[in-house]
Structure 1
């Protein structure tokens, strides 16, 4: 499952928002019913994980975290504490908690951005400018693509 594209939407007074139909269809086709929402590790946005993508990330992290290392356990705790399990209602909406809306500085207008196996949710005004200038993007992409793995 790979999400692609970006779609604008609005939250209602309670913090509910419709998941864009293109993303909803992909989740339904894949049989994904539960979702996990958490703040992004790097930026002021939220990340919506289908349950399978969340479990994959969690497996990757827990495989590297020692239960006997206090600092590593604190990192795991911080990662888990920001997560909320949610499901779509019959209309395709879900509730973003006030805590997560504040963390991502979202008022009402949001932009959903497909990011491979997850969906990012940004305050629309934060996406009005490109994430980085075109020349910088091209140069960094070149470096990334020339990396040997």
Structure 2
């Protein structure tokens, strides 16, 4: 199962080619489709990227939780599925971002890849810096916490009993 973490910055050339970070490529290599699916984020001036298997999970969630032909289902299907681009990763580890994706995210010469667990995002590095700052401020202001799920594996000190 893919699990994307970390932030990586790479150069974008004039043809829209950018190298996908090696750790992300390694995780995508587990997929039947040897590439990545990318779509414009409907919540930010960024791109969302995932394996084809995770896109299928998104589709199943969409189909299972919203009524077919409802406005909400149509909006999300249009925003995610209709806007998705399956992109092959070339032998040099690069993808070619289509012009509509470059424009949506304001990408020109640099790209930041941001691991978000099951998917990753692609940002203009300057916009990402603002986003990270705002996210930390909101989390701090709301005093967000996260309970650990049951079934968590024990650490080394707990295994020595």
Q: TM-score, normalised by structure 1?
A: 0.84
2:133 equivalent in structure 1: 131
CA-based RMSD of the aligned residues comes to: 2.1
Report the equivalent of 2:81.
80
In structure 1, stretches of 5+ residues that fail to align are none
SS at match of 2:103: helix
Q: CA deviation at 1:119?
A: 1.2
Q: TM-score, normalised by structure 2?
A: 0.78
- Residue-pair matches, total: 144
Structure with larger Rg:
2
Q: How many angstroms does 1:33 deviate by?
A: 1.6
Q: Which runs of 5+ in 2 are unaligned?
A: 148-161
Q: 1:108-119, aligned counterparts within 5 Å?
A: 108-119=109-120
Which structure has more strand as a fraction of its residues? 1
2:38 is aligned to 37
State the partner residue of 2:98.
Answer: 97
- Out of 22-31 and 116-125, give the one that drifted further: 22-31
Aligned partners of 2:20 and 2:93 also within 8 Å: yes
Identify which range, 30-39 or 54-63, moves more after superposition. 30-39
